[in-house]
Amino acid sequence: MSKTSRLKIAYLCETNPSETLNHSGGNTKIFNALQDYVGDVTYLGESWGMVEFVRKLINKMPLPIILRLRFRTHWFLSSIIARRIYKELKKEQYDVVFCSYGFYCLSNLKLPYPIPVVFTSDATFTAYKYSKVGQQFESFFSLSRRLDPLLRNAEEKVYQSADLLLWPSRWMKNSVDKLFNLSDEKSHMVHWGANILPPPRDDLITHSISNQQVELLLVGRDWFPKGGPVVFETLKLLLDKGVNAHLSVVGCVPPDEHIHEKMTIYPQLNKNIPEEYETFTSLYKNAHFFVMPSYEAYGFAFCEASAYGLPTLCLDVGGVPIKQGVNGHALPDGSTPADFAEKIEYYLNSPEEYASLQESTRHYYEEHLNWEAWANKVAELVQSKVRSKVTDSP
């Protein structure tokens, strides 16, 4: 977009985009992509206005309680919180309100002038809760389930009144369209990007695959939810078949029963420390497969793997950004370690197809799984809504 066509964007989110650890960095990346490619973005703040003391009180609680209590309380108090947002919007003439992750940030929000409202998230409360992904995690507050019908109604009201809804996966778009009767004119699938600086093509290692060494990689903060036990058994099966396989694990420490001499474990790698960042990137560059049979609403790690031309093996559950045979394979839910090992063996016996898979993996990242591609599509959609809103206004 040219500088003259840049939009003036009011940005809403429950957490500050400058805090890069929130939402696995997604909130920060969305904010920065809008700023870099779409317009001038103003974060309207996270204060709850007259009930700010409640938010501060919740934030002093243990993290598991914060994650579950904060959004429900925000929604419950939204009619009060929305007054502060109204006042912020009234101070300036914005072209668009852009909200990420929390639909409740838009609940009961009245606009001071005609302005398109855009929302994006990798999951919604209702769609996630009743999906295979959400059902893997039990509700922390059993009494909160009584609020589910009210929350569903609140979600529907927000999505129906929004001008544009952007979902990073086909899974989420299909889910919310069905739940809330959304049209394709309003609801769109636009992949999010990787939460890393993209490596230049010249820095990538194009290596063949053979029985001499097969490098597997798993990156995640929790061994069990990320499918670690399945990856461990896959490694053992390959070794039993005479394949010289090796597994690198980043971000967590497996239990003793899941430790093998053909594993290297990196409990934590800080990307802000040059030496550790170099180790992190070298693992992506030198691996043959990124293996993570987990249940994910999206999964930035899959985008990161694709940025390195590293094919992914995962489960076809949730919103994983894997296109079959293009940047990896999403195996059916319930697939066993033997199924994952079989897929790896297939490419061991077909090195030319593996080389082609590496190339298409990187290409898919360049076309779809980066933030510039996301922002360009978003800019096109938002500009159209802004024009139609101006035309329709009295």
CATH number at residue 215: 3.40.50.2000
DSSP string of 315-348?
A: ES-BT----TTTSEEEEPTT--HHHHHHHHHHHH
Residue 44 and residue 169 share a domain:
yes
Residue 212 and residue 181 share a domain:
no
pLDDT the model gives residue 3 = 43
Per-residue model confidence as pLDDT tens digits over 104-129 = 999 999 999 999 999 999 999 888 88
Residue 248 and residue 329 share a domain:
yes
Running along the chain, 394 residues long, what does each successive block of 10 average in pLDDT?
74 93 89 96 96 95 88 94 97 97 96 96 89 67 68 95 97 96 96 88 77 89 95 97 96 96 95 90 94 94 95 96 97 97 95 95 96 96 86 59
User: What is the rounded distance in angstroms from the CA atom of residue 11 to the CA atom of residue 106?
Assistant: 11
Residue 386 and residue 333 share a domain:
no
User: SS3 for 113-175, per residue?
Assistant: CCCCEEEECCCCHHHHHCCCCHHHCCCCCHHHHHHHHHHHHHHHHHHHHCCEEEECCHHHHHH
Q: Which domain holds residue 7?
A: 3-193+370-392
Per-residue model confidence as pLDDT tens digits over 206-263 = 777 876 789 999 999 999 999 999 999 999 999 999 999 999 999 999 999 999 999 9
Residue 240 and residue 181 share a domain:
no
pLDDT the model gives residue 141 = 45
In sequence order, what are the residues at sequence separation of 6 or more whose Cβ sits closer than 8 angstroms to the Cβ of residue 4? none
pLDDT the model gives residue 144 = 57
| Residue 18 tokens, joined | 């400058």
pLDDT the model gives residue 2 = 42
3-class SS of residue 355: helix
Tell me which residue of 382, 393, 341 sits closest to 162, measured CA to CA.
Answer: 382
Residue 232 and residue 83 share a domain:
no
pLDDT the model gives residue 392 = 63
Half-sphere exposure of 386 (CA within 13 A, CB side): 19
DSSP string of 13-55?
A: -SS-TT-TTGGGGHHHHHHHHHHHHTEEEEE--S--GGGHHHH
Whether residue 147 contacts residue 72, with contact meaning beta carbons closer than 8 Å, is answered with yes
| Residue 303 tokens, joined | 């985008």
Number of domains the chain contains: 2
Residue 214 and residue 167 share a domain:
no
Residue 248 and residue 184 share a domain:
no
Tell me which residue of 391, 379, 382 sits closest to 37, measured CA to CA.
Answer: 379
pLDDT the model gives residue 54 = 96
Residue 377 and residue 326 share a domain:
no
E strand or H helix that includes residue 246: strand 245-250
CB-based burial label for 261 (10 Å; 0-12, 13-18, 19+): exposed
Residue 52 and residue 113 share a domain:
yes
Residue 45 and residue 16 share a domain:
yes
Bridge partners of 224?
A: none
Supply the pTM of this predicted model.
Answer: 0.91
Residue 209 and residue 81 share a domain:
no
Bridge partners of 42?
A: 10
As a whole number of Å, the end-to-end CA separation of the chain is: 28
| Residue 382 tokens, joined | 């938002």
